[in-house]
Structure 1
Amino acid sequence: MPKKRKNSSFCLCPLASGSKGNAIFVSTPDTAVLVDAGLSGIELQRRMAAVGRAPEELKAIIITHEHTDHIKGAGILSRRFNIPVYATSETFNACQGLGKIDQVNFFECGSAFEIGSLTVNPFSISHDACDPAGLTLKHQGKKIGIATDLGVVTNLVRTHLSGAHAIYIEANHDPDMLMAGPYPWHLKQRIQSRTGHLSNQEARDLVAQISHDDLAHVILAHLSEENNSVEKAATEMSKNLDPLSTALYVAGPDQPGEMIWL
């Protein structure tokens, strides 16, 4: 496993991942943001405290799409700590239960913007939401790519994730487990559709297509608790990764992961 750079100043930490809630902490020395806030406000505070961080540090909450498991705590956290919310206008208008937000900053997929020392570049993905976005976040030549909740890998997705030093990618289901599992047929079809979720194999192929010598970290996210397992997802992704150059992590639903330094 690659060693952490002791002088690194750019990091990310999965706070939660899965259908119960999603949130990713990203930080530079002077700018910290949450990508999605799909847990209660108090639980987000608790998980940040567990990794030695605090909501008072946050300069923004970036919302990728309007599903509850990505926005549940965004409103209360924004009001409690006076944190601006960033979203596309279509996504923001589709969000239910956010409550009053005093500071809303709208972005458009395809147009980069700055939050402190972070450069954020949102891009369109295919999911059953109004205007879902993947993201890249850059700081001092380092790049994090985030793409969860997407049903198909497009050339646009590959282009934006190319060159990333860390990739946070959905590996939602094992196809055999999904087909043999308890979900009704219409839900199985939705998950496998172009607006559903990526399988382990699709995530593996995407990473293989964009892998490069400086890809140091791959984080598997949004694993289904019914239709996947940590072992299956990690085994599939490992087929195309060199463990001497790229570390593999699996983000889970019940506790934060480790702080990953670029």
Structure 2
Amino acid sequence: MRVCLIASGSKGNAVYLQSGESRILVDAGFAARELSRRLELIGVEAQSLDAVFVSHEHGDHCRGLGPLARRYQLPVYMNPETFQALPSLGRVADLHHFDTGSAFTCRDLHVETIPLTHDAARPVAYVVETREGRIGIATDLGIATRLVRERLKGCRVLILEANHDETMLRDGPYPWPLKHRIRGNHGHLSNGDCADLLGDLLWDGLETVFLAHMSETNNRAELALECVQRVLEKQNLCRPQIVVGRQSESSICVSL
């Protein structure tokens, strides 16, 4: 299994997963041409993709979805509520709907969907199970519910939202209504929230944690890492590799 953050942040998000039989993109938050370029930088041709999984309808996750799917005739997986919230998507020839909270199979992958509280029509997190283990992808969380904490256990790789530092957000340039939205139950996880969630998900089989969807205005990588390291130091477990996702470039690729 190979995992890579093609892009991560408020301007665009995409995750690349590769198993023995499958090449999957989770979200397509850049123009199709830019997504193709970024995939090429990690040695992947966009036309070799087997499917796109969609977490929710916001532009930083779906901007290039329609053009990419049509250009390369890609199957697209999303729930009906997300589809209804994408009136500008255009025609997608191979569309697969799932019920949020259910599981589905795509090629050699078993895919679990987890409902989230983010302010979208019906946002989901994914747990993708392969022969090599489980990969959890949870950004734009709103809050880390008990169900989220339970369903993300046992993953070898986690992609978790560390959107903002609470002090930087409070003192930063955003208008108050936007700050309130980000901090609320339908917004984004802070560094402290992310670290708290990670503390519940640590086990000796967890190898890599990607810190994702980091705000360029309200966060810094060292602040997120500091929060996570404090949690890791309290645990008598093997410490996973921590990778900070970037908006401007792909992260390192992790192989299982």
Do both share a fold (TM > 0.5)? yes
Identify the residue that residue 254 of structure 1 maps to in structure 2: 248
Q: What's the counterpart of residue 11 of structure 2?
A: 20
- Residues 1-262 of structure 1: matches in 2 within 5 Å? 10-241=1-232, 245-262=239-256
Partner of 1:5: none
Two-structure CA RMSD over aligned residues (Å): 1.2
Aligned letter for 1:199? Answer: S
Supply the distance in 1 between the matched residues of 2:195 and 2:140 (Cα, whole angstroms): 15
Q: Which amino acid aligns with 2:16?
A: F
Would the aligned equivalents of 2:204 and 2:238 in 1 still touch at CA under 8 Å? no
Distance 1:244 1:110, change over 3 A: closer
* Cα deviation code 1:24-73 (max 9, x no counterpart): 00010210110000000000000000000111221111110000000011
Unaligned runs of 5+ in 2: none
- Native 8 Å contact 1:31 1:57 kept in 2: no
* Distance across 1 between alignment mates of 2:20 and 2:200: 32
Aligned length: 253
Q: Normalising to structure 2: TM-score of the pair?
A: 0.96
SS of the counterpart of 1:214? coil
Which residues of structure 1 form unaligned runs of 5+? Answer: 1-9
Checking the alignment, whether the CA contact within 8 Å between 2:203 and 2:238 is kept in structure 1 is: no
- Does the CA contact (< 8 Å) of 1:88 and 1:107 recur in 2? yes
Q: Which digits, 9 at most, give the CA deviation of each residue in 1:177-198, with x for residues without a partner?
A: 0000001111110000000000
SS of alignment partner, residue 232 of structure 2: coil
Provide the secondary structure at the position in 2 that maps to 1:195: coil
Q: What is the SS of the residue equivalent to 1:38?
A: coil
d(CA) in 2 for partners of 1:254 and 1:130?
28
TM-score for the superposition, normalised by structure 1: 0.94
CA distance in 1 between partners of 2:76 and 2:211 (Å): 25
Deviation of the 1:97 alpha carbon? 2.5
| CA displacement at 1:241 relative to structure 2 | 2.4
> Which consecutive aligned stretches of 4+ in structure 1 deviate over 4 angstroms post-superposition?
none
